Amino acid sequence: MLLVNQLRYIRQFTAQDSKNTHYFSWRENIAEIDWLTEADVELPVTKGGSNIARLCDWGEANPEVTLLVITDGYFKLNVQQRHQLSELDNLYLVGVGGDADLVQLNTLSNHSFRAEELDSALHMIYRPKAIEVAPSSRFDLTKTIIENESESDDEW
């Protein structure tokens, strides 16, 4: 039920600002879920774990996509898979469940959140990115002040 509520919240959040969002199911394969706008969130019955190699490959094949994974964090990783996931700058992880493995999720991404922090994750994802622009030219303000002082010095 927590996962369904998380997905409902994401739908409301993204619809509010007309954000382009796609939903995927991750089991043996990664497949897109197509919910009707007016329909409630319905998830297939799941059992067991998910194929971590498929997630690693999908994340590397789609570097332009922001990937928000809602998980309990209990999956086994080999060294290569751990490295692959930790190298993804576009990976956001939300740990669901009272027993979510947040320690593992924190080692995989700097963008790791608890379920109750989903709002913070979404704001971080959709926040406009700051663009660093160097000044086009240097301007020496002290020189300008000294030049102006000598011209109109009224002793202030």
d(CA 68, CA 125) in angstroms, rounded, equals 9
Share of the chain above pLDDT 70, in %: 78
d(CA 80, CA 67) in angstroms, rounded, equals 19
Higher per-residue confidence, 148 vs 14: 14
d(CA 89, CA 119) in angstroms, rounded, equals 19
Contact 66, 43 (CB under 8 A): no
d(CA 90, CA 111) in angstroms, rounded, equals 9
Higher per-residue confidence, 120 vs 129: 120
pLDDT tens by residue, 78-116: 999 999 999 999 999 999 988 899 999 999 999 999 999
Contact 95, 115 (CB under 8 A): yes
Q: Which region among 60-64, 76-80, 132-136 has the lowest average model confidence (pLDDT)?
A: 132-136
Would the pLDDT of 8 be above 80? yes
Helix and strand numbers (H, E) in the chain are: 6, 5
